[in-house]
Chain A
Amino acid sequence: MVSGGHEEGVVTDAPGGRVDTAPAPTGDASPPRPGPPLGAALTVGVVALALALAIGVALASHHGPLVPWTITVIGGLLAVGASVGWLTLPANPLLRHLAVAGVAGLLLLLFSDHVSAFSDFQIAQVAYYVPAAAGLTLLVGWNGQLSLGHGALMAIGAYTVAVLMAHNPTFPVIALILAAVVVTGLAGAVIGVAAARLRGPYLAGATLALAVALPELATRYSGTLGGAQGLPVRPLGVPTWLSETFPAERWLAWVGIVSGLVVLVLLANLMRSGIGRRLRTVRDDEVAASLAGVNVARTQVMAFVVSAACAGLAGALYGFATSLANPAAFSLILSLSLVTAIVIGGLGSLAGAVLGATALVFVPRLTTNVSNRFKLDTSVKGNLPLAVYGLLLVLAMLTFPDGIVGGLRRLARFVTPRHRSPPAGSAGTAPSTSAPAATAPTTSAAAATAPAGDVQGPPAG
């Protein structure tokens, strides 16, 4: 890990625009400052030690729950350490995001190598929801445009892969995935132009129509798109440099982990950049944004394109995991589940998107286990996951309006002693990089539900 050399420690979790040098019109809530950070050199040492321990345990033991648990604990400790500010992360956003993603990726790959093939498949499932949820949280949380049609955009990604594959079976996987990203991004541009003219419920209605109507094209053009039966997607073949007994599910998980992390790093950087600030400006006040010289429509279309491209990647991964592009798989329920996921995870937060995607995979599994345990009726069992999402959503709205991430942050604030310095500087002019990270929340409405935008540790699983 490379340190940015900030001895006094910059804000780590809400990767806080504080290192930005340009003025940030809106601010992020910053985590509490619980005591002195370790410093860059020590952080590198601690992380290196943690990774060495994880690798050591992984190499020494092949079976049993020891390795997954060790890695979960190590990952959890590192994540907590980073989010409460003990660890000193590089100040440069790109370096910081790469470092976090690198550590998280390494731990995840180790983790996936020591769990059952089914757990690997679940990781792959989380990994195909992550880009879609992350893209959606950018659009909704950072740009204020609600899309209820992201499931349909995922369908475009999956169908792009399926159609290209049928056309030419020798296309490499990476080309198929990139094609899905590009095609869905283009579709997002078209939809985004329309969406930029719509506000509030009208935008929600239009994207809802998209979620319902787009998968129907498959039955309308059943010749090319395979109708209700869908098009087959050849599952990812395990590359020859891996052993012959390497489970296909694990390879799927690896492809998913790498793609997911790449998307998260790109989005985290985007959010830290000038574009990210423009997105938030437009969200908070369109009039003020245009007075400040921000092209509102262009910014909104751009947000939609980025978000759609992420959904396209998710759709491609979804296609590989289910080996099928089928209209029934991209139902309205999927679109709404994605919205639910990002709200439960924490709207506007990439870590929240990851947590929400994890919930999408594990809540149904949990409820199925409960139903089996208590021998519940099928009609109860089948609907329990959705009922639980609904309940979680209501609870989140009542108690943690900022989702899991916001809730965790409140918890951290509650349990850690406060070393807060009074707000330095007025809102609207960001402190320079050398300022102690006294990042007081600004007074804007956004601060109340401010996002944390960083890549977080591995989902337990």
Chain B
Amino acid sequence: MTAPFGRRGLTRLAAGIAVVTVAASACSSSSKSSSGGSSGSSASSGSTAASEPNKASAPGITADTITIGSHQPLTGIAAPGYSEIAPSANAYFQWVNDHGGVNGRKIVYKYEDDAYNPANTTAVVRKQVLEDQVFAIFTGLGTATHLAVRDFLNTNKIPDLFVASGCLCWADAAKYPYTFGSQTDYTIEGKIQGQFIDKTYAGKKIGYFYQNDDFGQDGLKGLDSQISASSVVTKQPYTVTNINVGPQIAALQQAGAQVVVSYSVPPFTALALLAAQKLNYHPQWVVSNVGADPTTLTGMLSSYSKGAAGGSLLEGNVSDSYLPPPDDVGNPWIQLFRQVHDKYVPTLPFDGNVQFGMTFAYTFVQTMLAAGKNPTRQSVVDALQKSHFTGPGLVPFRFSPTDHGGYSGEQMNQLTNGKIQTIGPPQVTDGGSGPITPYTTAQPAPPPNGIPTS
């Protein structure tokens, strides 16, 4: 009699396990369809009337193309929702290409899947930079994933534009001169929300529900700077690996919190709302921008509750945004992006993710135009540091030689009758102890063909 678990048995067991895993992972993939690559067949532009001819001025830039790369969670846990961002940005680039490109150059956007795993990110980004010779990395998504390539990109002097994460870490211009942020960072958001809560819900008991990582902790830093410590009755953290948030919500209820501030990603916002409903607990919810998109949440609420709950649970929730509400059909930027969406990516839901992708694609085109007729990697950095871009965002960027943080503020809003209603003017501030001031400059209208001019 040989060992009860011989070599062949082992091999079979190993094979069996691996096959099961393959099957499971294949099932969990995002079902969204997307189109990679650029359109290619559109008419070439002859509209550039500048004297200087187009040159291959930098790696990734030829006389008629600009090639950029990105790492995106197209499959895996972060794919639902976030996998829409890159195809949407690409849709806007196709729009630009079909209108003659950037100074006659077409944008070729190569985004690849890293499944939200930092180890994959390092391989994907190195391939794009060292082998595909991209000019820049554009909206690389995720804090942990992007931290894995930040040193590499800066050592190799690759523009690292508009990292899709609200980590404070992208603002460090002295140490990482090639990295630029995108969205408003979580501490600024926390400050603006905190001030709103302190004024609007004065005297009420406040509880926090937050993700126990840089996202939640940075947000709490901002909140705590504005809300008096005595009115905060409890702080309940969650980790993304444990989907049972019942205990935290019960603790918030027990503590008598009348206002719950939720620094959560969409799945956990949905789980928290469902858990509260089960406990018949109905506080005022104030949710961080990243976890508040109504389209995404409605889908999750109905799928997690097997259809028993839906968007009605979101009614009255307060959040904020640095972009106009995606359902604001009167906003000319929303009209523009809807037009691009309907033409190139009509199968995606028009939500905050699509809007995010297109917003930064627009900002990238602005950047390339500002970087000169024959841009270099350095001229892009210089242009961004000097930029005062306005456009699809409600507030200005912070970009300067000493600060590479993204948007500088947020506008509060509330979901009323299923629609996002803004509250007051946008507010801007810094990540430190600076004051919070209203930003009253009106959002400019987009250029006629939807492409920035210079």
Contact = CB atoms under 8 A, between A and B. Distances in A.
Interface stretch (B44-52, B147-155, B224-232): B147-155
B241 interface: yes
A383 B34 CA distance: 15
Interface in B8-66: 8-15, 17-19, 21-23, 25-26, 29-34, 36-37
B213 interface: yes
A117 interface: yes
Interface stretch (A3-11, A197-205, A427-435, A453-461): A197-205
B26 A386 contact: yes
Interface stretch (A37-45, A183-191, A387-395): A387-395
A397 B19 CA distance: 12
Interface of A: 116-118, 121, 125, 140-141, 144, 146, 148, 199-201, 203-204, 216, 219, 222, 227-230, 232, 235, 248-249, 282-287, 318, 321-324, 326, 328-329, 331-334, 336, 339-340, 343, 347-348, 365, 368, 372, 375, 377-379, 381-383, 386-387, 389-390, 393-394, 396-397, 401, 445-446, 448-449
Interface stretch (B100-108, B123-131, B353-361, B432-440): B123-131
Interface of B: 1-15, 17-19, 21-23, 25-26, 29-34, 36-37, 74-76, 79, 83, 112-113, 115-119, 121-123, 126-127, 130-131, 143-144, 147-149, 151-152, 155, 212-214, 239-241
A146 B8 contact: no
B65 to A, nearest CB: 17
B75 A339 contact: no
A383 B26 contact: yes
A116 B119 CA distance: 20
Contact of A144 (B5, B23, B34, B151): B5
Contact of A378 (B36, B117, B149): B36
Given A284-B2, A387-B22, 12 more contacts: A118-B126, A121-B126, A121-B130, A148-B17, A219-B212, A227-B212, A229-B214, A324-B144, A326-B119, A343-B18, A365-B127, A381-B74
B29 A382 contact: yes
A200 B75 contact: no
B30 A378 contact: yes
A324 B118 contact: yes
A339 B20 CA distance: 13
Nearest to B35: A375
Contacts of A287: 1
Nearest to A450: B7
A125 B79 CA distance: 25
B125 to A, nearest CB: 10
B14 A339 contact: yes
A323 B119 CA distance: 9
A382 B32 CA distance: 12
A322 B11 contact: no
A248 B128 CA distance: 16
A204 B15 CA distance: 12
Contact of B36 (A222, A230, A375, A397): A375
A284 B15 contact: no
B4 A116 contact: no
Given A368-B112, A445-B7, A379 B29 contact: yes
A81 B241 CA distance: 52
Contact of A229 (B9, B155, B213): B213
B21 A386 contact: yes
B13 A227 contact: no
26 contacts: A116-B130, A121-B126, A121-B130, A144-B7, A146-B5, A230-B118, A230-B147, A232-B147, A235-B155, A249-B126, A282-B3, A286-B3, A322-B118, A324-B122, A328-B117, A333-B21, A375-B36, A375-B37, A378-B33, A378-B113, A382-B113, A386-B26, A393-B18, A445-B6, A446-B7, A449-B11
Contacts of A201: 13
Contacts of B144: 228-230, 324, 326, 328
Contacts of A340: 14, 18
A235 B21 contact: no
Contact of B240 (A228, A332, A396): A228
B19 A323 contact: no
Contacts of A318: 119
A389 B18 contact: yes
A216 B239 CA distance: 10
A404 to B, nearest CB: 14
A348 B26 contact: no
B4 A383 contact: no
Contact of B25 (A121, A235, A386, A445): A386
Between B11, B15, B117, the greatest number of chain A beta carbons within 10 A of the residue's beta carbon is seen for B11
Contacts of A229: 143-144, 147, 213-214
Contacts of B25: 333, 383, 386
A201 B5 CA distance: 9
Contact of B8 (A284, A321, A333, A445): A445
